[in-house]
């Protein structure tokens, strides 16, 4: 089954209920959200009433809570331990984020592995391993999905070998997985037009069973640019046909696919993009639909 959705908002008043309603308005059967602003760590208390209402409404709409994804804030950096207090803060905040996921009955938390900021890739990987093992010590049912990164700056995790090295160091391997991002794979240098080869390579190095989520984004930049700037579906260097082939690849059936494409004139384009995807038909008028 095609499981498709987008990034949605999560606010203090409506919480999971608001995120679900937004996703349903786009015609989605999954969604991803930050439990607060992505760039900061200010978070609200979870309201169990709202969560229970949302879970009930999901059932009525054939949405499986196991397909819903939370994204950890970018400011968590597990790769850099230069400053003890910041490193500890990242570890503790990630622990709290996992607790929030548990309260919300969410199974998957996407995490950017981190940036080593000059410490070197090996030290960066070791820092991530230590931190993740600390975080996963508490027995929770939330799986952390390491996202494939574009390779901007000193990002760790822009190739499968680095992700494999991290996973190898994790004690509780049942609580670790991977989230691929099509824009990031392209920008880090993978030939996205041959996705079967990418999946073969991933299977050989990491193991396909670790793949739990895919971010579907076009890219503003050419393959290997190491930039990480997302573009709307069919409007970037990856293109509509290549993205459709990835989305409908039988090996990726039942894996949640999440759009993180940019807003157009401050408006979410997800309803229209999801329609394009479901109909497998490119809408070359998309960018004109959202007037200021």
CB of 270 to Zn ion, least distance (A): 16
CB of 190 to Zn ion, least distance (A): 14
For Fe ion, the binding residue among 22, 162, 181, 228 (CB under 5 A) is 181
Residue tagged 């994804």 (tokens): 69
Torsion angle defined by CA atoms of residues 267, 272, 277 and 278, in that order, rounded to the nearest 10 degrees: 140
For Fe ion, the binding residue among 7, 100, 215, 220 (CB under 5 A) is 215
Q: Which of residues 60-99 bind Fe ion (CB under 5 A)?
A: none
Indicate which of Zn ion, Fe ion, none lies near residue 228 (CB less than 5 to 8 Å, by partner kind): Zn ion
Q: How far apart are CA 115 and CA 96, in angstroms?
A: 21
Indicate which of Zn ion, Fe ion, none lies near residue 162 (CB less than 5 to 8 Å, by partner kind): none
Q: Among residues 72 and 276, whose Cβ is nearest to Fe ion?
A: 72
Q: Among residues 38 and 120, whose Cβ is nearest to Zn ion?
A: 38
Instruction: Please tell me whether residue 272 binds Fe ion under the rule CB under 5 A.
Output: no
Q: Among residues 17 and 234, whose Cβ is nearest to Fe ion?
A: 234
Q: In terms of residues, how long is the chain?
A: 292
Q: Among residues 70 and 129, whose Cβ is nearest to Zn ion?
A: 70
Q: Among residues 51 and 261, whose Cβ is nearest to Zn ion?
A: 261
Q: Which of residues 94-153 bind Fe ion (CB under 5 A)?
A: 147
Q: Among residues 162 and 228, whose Cβ is nearest to Zn ion?
A: 228
CB of 50 to Fe ion, least distance (A): 25
Q: How far apart are CA 36 and CA 214, in angstroms?
A: 21
Indicate which of Fe ion, Zn ion, none lies near residue 212 (CB less than 5 to 8 Å, by partner kind): none
Q: How far apart are CA 92 and CA 97, in angstroms?
A: 9
CB of 159 to Zn ion, least distance (A): 16
Indicate which of Fe ion, Zn ion, none lies near residue 215 (CB less than 5 to 8 Å, by partner kind): Fe ion
Q: What is the contact mask toward Zn ion in residues 200 to 239, using x (rule: CB under 5 A)? A: ----------------------------x-----------
Identify which range of 51-59, 151-159, 211-219, 272-280 contacts Fe ion by CB under 5 A.
Answer: 211-219
List contacts with Zn ion (CB under 5 A).
228
List contacts with Fe ion (CB under 5 A).
147, 181, 215
């Amino acid at each position: 089954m095609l499981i498709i959705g987008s990034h949605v908002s999560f606010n203090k008043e409506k919480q999971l209920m608001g995120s679900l309603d937004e996703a349903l308005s786009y015609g989605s059967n999954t969604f991803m959200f930050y439990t607060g602003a992505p760039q900061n760590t200010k978070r609200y208390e979870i309201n169990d009433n709202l969560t229970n209402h949302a879970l009930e409404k999901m059932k009525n709409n054939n949405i499986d809570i196991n397909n819903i994804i939370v994204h950890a804030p970018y400011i968590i950096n597990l790769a850099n331990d230069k400053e003890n207090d910041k490193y500890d803060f990242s570890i503790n905040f990630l622990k709290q984020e996992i607790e929030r996921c548990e309260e919300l009955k969410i199974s998957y938390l996407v995490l950017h592995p981190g940036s080593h900021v000059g410490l070197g890739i090996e030290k960066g990987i070791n820092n991530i391993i230590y931190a993740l093992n600390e975080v996963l010590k508490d027995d929770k049912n939330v799986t952390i999905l390491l996202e494939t990164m574009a390779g901007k700056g000193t990002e760790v995790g822009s190739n499968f070998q680095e992700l494999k090295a991290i996973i190898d160091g994790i004690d509780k391997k049942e609580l670790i997985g991977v989230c691929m991002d099509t824009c990031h794979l392209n920008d880090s240098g993978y030939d996205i037009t041959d996705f079967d080869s990418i999946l073969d390579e991933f299977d050989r190095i990491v193991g396909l069973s670790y793949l739990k989520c895919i971010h579907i984004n076009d890219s503003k930049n050419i393959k290997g640019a190491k930039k990480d700037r997302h573009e709307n579906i069919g409007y970037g260097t990856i293109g509509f046909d290549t993205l459709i082939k990835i989305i409908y690849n039988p090996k990726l059936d039942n894996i949640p696919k999440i759009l993180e494409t940019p807003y157009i004139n401050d408006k979410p384009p997800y309803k229209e993009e999801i329609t394009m995807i479901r109909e497998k038909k490119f809408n070359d008028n998309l960018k004109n639909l959202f007037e200021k």
